[in-house]
């Protein structure tokens, strides 16, 4: 052997370990996970999104036990992979199965497997990273179906949950077992607490379980005194007239009977702040079509919503309840488009439901003609100007700038000099040049240009501007959604944010916008619904303080 050949052989021998290492790496990348020694971490994601992580490299307290458990679970699943038999095609049974995703992390790779299980151990499969399907042995599948991470496959693993409103009450004790595919029961680990938590309950003392108990015994304590000991059905016998701090002790049982896949018992101990029941009041029993009433709510919890429905419907109007001193109030208008008759309001808050009845008397709105120059109509009352007005004013009408209390008090003024005549009253149907018509949302006064226009009651200026339709316009908010609108002005002398009192100067009358002569139009609205001001000129808005 010559010298050059020896050198070549020597060099090749030097590279053999590298080639072997590369080949081993490539082989390991393609190999299926069948040896637990190749796995340093295993993650299981169940069909409901629950995650279970096993790693035999834990440190610190309980590390030895955790590592032993992790090694055992990794060894079980990798052995299950090894025992499985490859399939020539995708099994049909997978369509009915739930999917578990398992990620095996090794020293130099990560492999993702999908496992398909039902409660039938004879129809269990997995798919490896190469897309090959394997049938799991019935023995291995049976063992898998008894694991904690397979609990979501069983309906009985849904354990009892007690809720008060939106809050979940953790039990002091909960022993729950669910039925496995083989008819035996397996205990389910659940969260409990020794702490005495405090919840808020409505005056009906209502709570609920997602699984109705077969037996439920309740003891209620007011301080050291037991004020109730019976079942849930009679709990409403406790009369709550003021806020109380009560302690509850509840024992519930779910029996093992045919048709049930879970059974157990639970104990709950908790405190509850119980509010006095909300109550609702109308400020009047009768109004005229086009007027409004006031609903007052007493003892409304701060975080409880008030639900409102009306029969017949109020044209989609839903009242906004505003904190007003010790109460909550809402103005409820009955639009002139709504028919007369008996209206039933149903209000619910914090588990309490109450009906209020309002009689709406009929009012006949008359029709009158108006003559307007076509040039004025073309400039101020077209589809475009009407749409532009809505775009600008709808947000103003629906806004609530005074978030608490109300500023209005006493009677309302007309907003114009004494003795000013009315040209078109509230709700009057005005026919334009014998053609199109509209229903007047306010009161139009005959007043020459330059006369003072004043605030009809106390409030805050929330809009000053000009539109083609309404001309120079000022809007004042008085509270509870009640607003006054001043239109067809020549000039405004206030700014947005100004606080005004009844009688304060706002603007001067004019002939801007859509009008047939120099005038001023003053409207009242409740969140955009036009309301009649006539009764307010002589009488203050009656408000109950029950």
> Given a cut of 60, is residue 274 above it in pLDDT?
yes
- Of 196, 207, 341, which Cα lies nearest the Cα of 271? 196
Rounded distance between C-alpha atoms, residue 34 and residue 261, angstroms: 35
Instruction: Classify residue 434 as left (phi > 0), alpha (psi -120 to 50) or beta.
Output: left
More confident residue, 288 or 4: 288
pLDDT at 10: 46
Rounded distance between C-alpha atoms, residue 410 and residue 503, angstroms: 13
- pLDDT single digits (tens) 81-125: 999 999 999 999 999 999 999 999 988 889 999 999 999 999 999
Are the C-beta atoms of residues 95 and 116 closer than 8 Å to each other?
Answer: no
Are the C-beta atoms of residues 213 and 268 closer than 8 Å to each other?
Answer: no
> Given a cut of 70, is residue 269 above it in pLDDT?
yes
pLDDT at 2: 54
Q: Are strands 429-432 and 367-370 parallel, antiparallel or unpaired?
A: parallel
- Mean pLDDT rounded to a whole number for the chain: 91
Average pLDDT over residues 400-406: 95
Would you tell me how many other CB atoms lie within 10 Å of the CB of residue 167? 15
**Residue 33 confidence class, pLDDT cut points 50, 70, 90:** low
> Given a cut of 60, is residue 303 above it in pLDDT?
yes
Q: Can you tell me whether residue 25 is helix, strand or coil?
A: helix
- What letter does residue 456 receive in the DSSP assignment? S
Rounded distance between C-alpha atoms, residue 485 and residue 476, angstroms: 7
> Given a cut of 70, is residue 271 above it in pLDDT?
yes
Average pLDDT over residues 368-394: 96
Average pLDDT over residues 356-373: 94
- pLDDT single digits (tens) 201-232: 888 888 999 999 999 999 999 999 999 999 88
Show Cβ contacts of residue 528 under 8 Å, excluding neighbours closer than 6 positions: 394, 397, 398
> Given a cut of 90, is residue 52 above it in pLDDT?
yes
Does pTM top 0.85 for this prediction? Answer: no
**Residue 11 confidence class, pLDDT cut points 50, 70, 90:** very low
How many Å separate Cα 370 from the centre of its chain?
A: 49
The neighbouring-strand residues paired with 86 are 134
């Amino acid at each position: 052997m010559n010298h050059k050949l020896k050198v070549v052989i020597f060099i090749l021998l030097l590279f053999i370990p590298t080639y072997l290492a590369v080949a081993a790496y490539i082989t390991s990348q393609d190999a299926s996970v069948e040896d637990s020694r190749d796995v340093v971490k295993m993650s299981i994601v169940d069909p409901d999104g629950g995650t279970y992580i096993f790693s035999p490299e834990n440190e610190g307290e309980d590390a030895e036990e955790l590592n032993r458990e992790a090694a055992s679970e990794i060894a079980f699943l990798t052995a299950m992979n090894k025992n499985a038999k490859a399939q020539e095609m995708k099994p049909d049974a997978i369509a009915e199965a739930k999917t578990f995703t398992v990620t095996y992390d090794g020293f130099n790779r990560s492999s993702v497997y999908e496992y398909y299980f039902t409660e039938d151990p004879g129809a269990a499969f997995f798919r490896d990273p190469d897309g090959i399907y394997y049938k799991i042995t019935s023995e291995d599948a049976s063992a898998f179906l008894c694991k904690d991470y397979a609990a979501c496959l069983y309906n009985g693993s849904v354990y009892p949950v007690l809720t008060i409103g939106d809050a979940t009450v953790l039990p002091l004790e909960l022993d729950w077992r669910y039925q496995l595919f083989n008819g035996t029961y397996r205990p389910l680990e659940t969260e409990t607490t020794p702490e005495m938590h405090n919840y808020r309950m409505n005056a009906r003392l209502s709570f609920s379980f997602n699984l109705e108990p077969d037996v439920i015994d309740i003891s209620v304590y007011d301080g050291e005194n037991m004020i109730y000991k019976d079942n849930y059905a009679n709990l409403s016998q406790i009369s709550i007239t003021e806020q109380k701090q009560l302690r509850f002790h509840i024992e519930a049982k779910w029996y093992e009977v045919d048709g049930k896949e879970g059974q157990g018992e639970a104990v709950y101990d908790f405190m509850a702040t119980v509010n006095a029941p909300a109550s609702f009041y109308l400020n009047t029993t009768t109004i005229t079509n086009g007027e409004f009433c006031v609903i007052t709510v007493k003892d409304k919890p701060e975080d409880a919503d008030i639900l409102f429905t009306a029969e017949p419907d109020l044209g989609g109007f839903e009242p906004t309840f505003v904190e007003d001193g010790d109460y909550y109030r809402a103005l409820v208008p009955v639009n002139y488009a709504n028919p007369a008759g008996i209206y039933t309001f149903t209000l619910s808050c914090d588990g309490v439901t109450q009906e209020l009845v309002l009689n709406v008397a009929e009012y006949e709105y008359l029709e009158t003609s108006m003559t307007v120059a076509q040039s004025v109509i073309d400039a101020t009352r077209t589809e475009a100007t009407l749409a532009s007005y809505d775009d600008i004013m709808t947000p103003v009408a629906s806004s609530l700038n005074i978030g608490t209390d109300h500023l209005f008090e006493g009677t309302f003024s007309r907003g114009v000099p004494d003795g000013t005549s009315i040209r078109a009253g509230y709700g009057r149907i005005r026919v334009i040049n014998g053609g199109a018509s509209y229903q007047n949302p306010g009161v139009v006064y005959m007043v020459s240009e330059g006369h003072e226009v004043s605030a009809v009651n106390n409030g805050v200026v929330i809009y000053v501007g000009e539109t083609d339709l309404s001309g120079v316009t000022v809007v004042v908010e008085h509270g509870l959604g009640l607003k006054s609108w001043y239109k067809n002005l020549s000039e405004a002398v206030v700014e947005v944010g100004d606080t005004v009192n009844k009688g304060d100067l706002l603007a001067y009358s004019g002939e801007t916008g859509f009008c047939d002569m120099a005038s001023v139009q003053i409207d009242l609205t409740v969140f955009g619904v036009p309301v009649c001001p006539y009764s307010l000129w002589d009488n203050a808005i009656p408000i109950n303080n029950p």
